[in-house]
Structure 1
Amino acid sequence: MNTDPPEEANAFWAQKSALEQRYQIILDRVTPHTKERWAFTGVVLIIYFIRVLYAQGWYIVTYALGIYLLNLFLAFLQPKIDPSLEMEMGTDASDEGPTLPMRSDEEFKPFVRRLPEFKFWHSATRSIVIAFVCTLFRVFDIPVFWPILLVYFCILFTITMKRQIRHMIKYRYIPFNLGKRSYGGKSSFK
């Protein structure tokens, strides 16, 4: 009895592996170009919005995309080790690395994001492309009254950002390098 997979399956996996390697090479090449990556994502997002506005549909897909991007943004703003979550769970992460300050005379250094900038960009760009592909199929064009979705998203965005800003003030951290002193090297947006 022959237990080897058919040649077609081997060819498929070899082709898949080659495509994954090419994709990884492209990602490795664009990694240092932060501004260009985000400009590309902005252009893709504008093209997506033009598509949705021109076609006057796919508002549920756009709402889901907005919620997903908001989720990514919040993970990007939050520290990897969050003391408010540790207090709720009753754990101590002092052995795991740097933590947020708990007293007024402490300062948090370094700020380690829960979602790194590159992963944020990659996930955001990929989700916008997936949403754009969804606009090519009528099955995803579910009829809804879009102003309600827009108002609900604005309320959700306001509430979550207000909560995040309060958290940032309470634990005294700034997730951006803007306005921070830099010693020696370039200031980067990490």
Structure 2
Amino acid sequence: MDEPEPETPFAAVSAQTTKYGRIFQSYLDKSTPFIGYRWAGTATLFCFFALRIFLAQGWYIVVYSLGIYLLNLFLAFISPKFDPSLEQDEGMEEGASSLPTKQDQEFRPFVRRLPEFKFWYAATRAIAIAFLCSWFAVFDLPVFWPVLVVYWLILVALTMRRQIQHMIKYRYVPFTVGKQRYSKS
């Protein structure tokens, strides 16, 4: 007779993590339509993190790392999924994925490289990790923080300038102000 093999401790741990992973994913799925509330929660978490850094007067390298990561996420959020400059460089013909550049071309909606939900989730997770790191002395490296601030501001200015030039050159706007409304006349 075949006896069932005894359950290993690893299998029990794996089953529990899978169970909690599904529960966590169900909460994430339920939060998807509540954009304002999600971002308000992230802003609140960021305020707690900023307050922690301000009161503790340290962990500036953690703040700098978080700033660069959030800048990277934001650039992915405002960039098109299919970069028209890469398609033009590769010599591709007018494909279904390219943005229209002329008046007579068909309208194609702006598809982001990083969707809003993934942007929110990654930003929230990064802020939570940075907040957690601010409680451990090993991450409190001695740095002259004004240099980091100036360097980060220069980095933001240069990358945003390049991104805005790209938007102007390929004529796309990653934001919509609202749903277009027509009059009833």
TM-score using structure 2 length: 0.89
1:12 corresponds in structure 2 to 13
1:171 corresponds in structure 2 to 170
1:188 corresponds in structure 2 to none
Which runs of 5 or more structure 1 residues have no equivalent in the other structure?
184-190
- 1:94 CA displacement: 4.7
Where does 1:83-102 land on structure 2 (aligned, <5 Å)?
83-88=84-89, 90=90, 92=92, 94-95=94-95, 97-102=96-101
Question: 2 CA distance for matches of 1:54 and 1:69?
Answer: 22
SS of the aligned residue for 1:114 comes to coil
Residue 140 of structure 2 aligns with an amino acid whose one-letter code is D
Which runs of 5 or more structure 2 residues have no equivalent in the other structure?
none
2:81 corresponds in structure 1 to 80
Contact 1:99–1:108 under 8 Å retained in 2: no
1:59 corresponds in structure 2 to 60
Poorly superposed stretches of 4+, deviation over 3 Å: 102-108
2:151 corresponds in structure 1 to 152
- 1:106 CA displacement: 4.3
- 1:105 CA displacement: 5.1
- 1:56 CA displacement: 0.6
Aligned length: 180
- Within the alignment, does 1:112 sit opposite 2:84 as a pair? no
C-alpha distance after superposition, 1:135-162 (max 9, x if no partner) = 1110011000000000000111011111
Question: 1 CA distance for matches of 2:144 and 2:6?
Answer: 51
Contact 1:98–1:110 under 8 Å retained in 2: no
Identity over aligned pairs, percent: 54
Question: 1 CA distance for matches of 2:6 and 2:115?
Answer: 39
Contact 1:98–1:108 under 8 Å retained in 2: no
Contact 2:61–2:141 under 8 Å retained in 1: yes
Question: 2 CA distance for matches of 1:29 and 1:93?
Answer: 41
Residue 162 of structure 1 aligns with an amino acid whose one-letter code is R
Contact 1:61–1:134 under 8 Å retained in 2: yes
Is the radius of gyration larger for structure 1 or structure 2?
2
TM-score using structure 1 length: 0.87
SS of the aligned residue for 1:177 comes to coil
Question: 1 CA distance for matches of 2:37 and 2:64?
Answer: 26
1:121 corresponds in structure 2 to 120
1:38 corresponds in structure 2 to 39
Question: 2 CA distance for matches of 1:115 and 1:93?
Answer: 25
Question: 2 CA distance for matches of 1:162 and 1:133?
Answer: 33
SS of the aligned residue for 2:112 comes to coil
Question: 2 CA distance for matches of 1:171 and 1:27?
Answer: 35
